[in-house]
Structure 1
Amino acid sequence: MAPKVVLVTGVADQLGGQLAARLADDPTIERVLGVDTAPPSVSLASRAEFYRADIRNPRIAKLIDSAKVDTVVHAAPRSGAAFKEHNVIGTMQLLAACQRSRTVRKLVVKSTAEVYGGGAGAPAVFTEQDAPDRGGDAVEIEGYARGLARRRPDVCVTTIRLAEVIGPRVDNALTRYFSLPVVPTVLGFDARVQFAHVADALAVFERAIAHELPGVFNVGGDGVLMLSQAIRRAGRVPLPVPRAAIGPATRLAGGRVELSPGLSRLLSHGRVIDTTRLKTTFGFTPKWTTTAAFDDYVRSFRAELA
């Protein structure tokens, strides 16, 4: 079923805001509703409607019902301890509203490769069949999405597990980490890292919205970079510290950087995801490799400093 009325949560963030703006440019979609507690980070197209609302409030169900929303894109989950309540309680309320709705037929959920965790005994490459790590907001959010799929088999539920998103003007914990003049690393380790270009991430969400593609899909660029290589490509200087000091050292090096537990594990042990299902079952091949995505971020970062 082609979407007619789409609701996007998390439009204050770059990914959600850009997605809402792009959907509003699609003439086949009648209405696009953007929801967040703060204004969008990007200028929404004239057809996109912004609603300042907290998805933790049960009134989100009234908005879904009154607008006759048929497709919900849950792009609101954010990393960091400060967002735990918003992520978990907000998802519970939003998905409860979807379950009761008579019009919702599709749910697309933004998740993260952080659900796989990571450590000395972790697989070299994670596939969608690998069990998620215990705990973490993203693991809980995915659990609620699976519950909705069981209770409402008529709703197509697609979960997108993103590698670390990077690209021009992307502002997140990882891009702030690489922008530090001195970049703390874990002493004695050189993690393998993988990135998803923001343009590919947006294209994946657009395809999930336009087509019936239920299930869980890893999204990331082909190839990997060693953390040391990425730091050199960014023109930065590494500062090896003991693993327990990586978080405090990063905060001291630049106060705006807060490493989530999942990101800390990435920088300590690395994390690589398999994207075979994305290419075969989902029908999408990323245009940006991991290296090309990172270099595109570096070019834009240097241009901003010039």
Structure 2
Amino acid sequence: MAPNVVLVTGVADQLGGRLANRLAENPGIERVLGVDTRPPAPGLSPRVEPVAVDIRDARIGKVISTANVDTVVHAAPRASIGPLRSAIKERNVIGTMQLLAACQRSPRVSKLVVKSSAEVYGASPSSPAVFTEQDPLAGGRDREAAEIEAYVRGFSRRRPDVVTTTVRLAELIGPGVDTALARYFRLPVVPTVLGFDARVQLLHPQDAVDVLERAVLCDLPGVFNAGGDGVILLSQAIRRAGRVPLPMPRAAIPAAARLVRGAAPVHFSADLSRLLNYGRVIDTTQLKTTFGFAPKWSTSDAFDDYVRTAHKEMST
């Protein structure tokens, strides 16, 4: 069913803001509500109606019912790293639970799109060469993304009438992307894990917006991996970025990154540390066949676009 009133969470982030703008350009969509507690991302379309509400608050249910929302896009979950890690994790998990409860109570909600991450698979010495949507999710302490998905699956069982789509995005890289991985490649001297050369798969932010937009506009229930074609070795990426690698034991990498002067701080989550050690590649067959979407940017092209932008920013 075509969306009429769409609510997008996380519009203060680049991805959520871009997606809200794209949906606001669609003449077939009557209203787009942008939910976040932080100020909206720069350049938010005037057609996007900002709603300053915390999704952990029960008031999100009133917003959904009052505005007659029929489509909810949960783009708010983000990496819980840095000094605010605990607060971000609580917002991700508790916020998702409260948002899903509000969707469950609303008879008008007919579609739910959830932005997830390939982090759900983890990264370890026993990981398969390529993860498919059928592979088990990572366990252990650092399984926040998997916990969020578990709540989404529970919601889908309780509301089978709602078209529920979960998109597991590969690591984002490209112009304007400010993640721990993007900052890592900006370090003038890049610490690497001694004896390892991880394979990394990336996704351009334009493709991330495109795939989420398609999930909103089309009825495509299920779970889909989304990543650019091909992989890039960590050593190749460092060379293409014009940086100098510094091999060292894995445990020493976070401390080494903090010692680099003049660089933006890189917060090494457990997942990022494992990614740099073991790498991660996801299969996108279902994305191209069942979902009907092929990313325009390969992993290498997305990284090169990031490098071009980063060099321009550093030269100004």
Give the aligned residue type for 1:251.
R
Three-state SS of the structure 2 residue aligned to 1:265 is helix
Q: Which amino acid aligns with 1:8?
A: V
- Residues of 1 paired with 2:169 and 2:208: CA distance? 8
Report what 1:35 is aligned to. 35
2:157 to 143, 150, 166: 150
Question: 1:188-267 alignment to 2 at 5 Å?
Answer: 188-253=195-260, 254=263, 256-267=265-276
SS of the residue aligned with 1:27? coil
**Residue of structure 1 equivalent to 2:109:** 104
Asked if structure 2 preserves the Cα contact closer than 8 Å seen for 1:80 and 1:259, the reply is no
Does the aligned pair in 1 maintain the 2:183–2:264 contact within 8 Å?
A: no
Aligned-partner Cα distance in 2 for 1:267–1:121 = 15
1:122 paired to 2:127: yes
Amino acid at match of 1:13: D
The answer on whether the counterparts of 1:18 and 1:42 sit within 8 Å (CA) in structure 2 is no
Residue deviations 1:254-284 (CA, integer Å, cap 9, x gap): 4521122222111010000000000000000
How far did 1:188 drift? 0.8
TM-score with structure 1 setting the length = 0.98
SS in structure 1 at match of 2:78: coil
- Give TM-score scaled by structure 2 length: 0.95
Mapped contact 2:24–2:31 kept (Cα < 8 A): yes
Rounded to whole Å, the distance in 2 between the matches of 1:296 and 1:147 is: 39
Whether contact under 8 Å (1:222, 1:290) holds in the other structure is yes
Q: Which residue of 2 aligns with 1:172?
A: 179
Output one character per residue of 1:142-188: Cα deviation in whole Å (capped at 9) or x when no partner.
00110010000001110010100111111111111111111111111
Find the counterpart in structure 2 of residue 52 from structure 1. 52
2:23 aligned partner: 23
Determine the structure 2 residue equivalent to 1:14.
14
Equivalent-residue separation in structure 2 for 1:252 and 1:66 (angstroms): 51
Between the aligned partners of 2:258 and 2:25, the Cα distance in structure 1 is 40
**Given the alignment, which residue of 290, 293, 305 partners 2:299?**
290
| Structure 2 SS opposite 1:180 | coil
Name the SS of the counterpart of 2:92 in structure 1.
helix
Partners of 2:222 and 2:258 lie apart in 1 by 37
Question: Match for residue 274 of structure 1?
Answer: 283
- Structure 1: which amino acid aligns with 2:173? I
> Any stretches of 5+ residues in structure 2 without a counterpart?
none
Q: Distance in 1 between matches of 2:131 and 2:230?
A: 14
RMSD of aligned residue pairs (Cα, Å): 1.0
- The one-letter code matched in structure 2 to 1:62 is K
List, as ranges, runs of 4+ consecutive aligned residues in structure 1 with deviation greater than 6 Å. none
- Structure 2 match to 1:184: 191
Contact residue 231 and residue 281 of structure 2 kept, 8 A: yes
Letter in 1 for 2:289: T
Work out the CA distance in 1 between the residues paired with 2:68 and 2:35. Answer: 15
Please state whether the residue corresponding to 2:34 is helix, strand or coil: strand
Q: Deviations over 1:31-66 (max 9, x none)?
A: 000011101123111111011111111110000010
Q: CA deviation at 1:239?
A: 1.4
Query: Is the contact between residue 9 and residue 76 of structure 2 (CA under 8 Å) also seen in structure 1?
Result: yes
What is the DSSP-based 3-state SS (H/G/I as helix, E as strand, rest coil) of the residue aligned with 1:216?
strand
Q: Which residue in the other structure is 2:66 paired with?
A: 66
Equivalent-residue separation in structure 2 for 1:218 and 1:161 (angstroms): 5
Instruction: Give the number of aligned pairs.
Output: 306
Structure 2 CA distance for aligned equivalents of residues 104 and 133 of structure 1: 30
Q: Percent identity?
A: 68
Q: Shift of residue 215 of structure 1?
A: 0.6
Report the secondary structure of 2:292's partner residue: coil
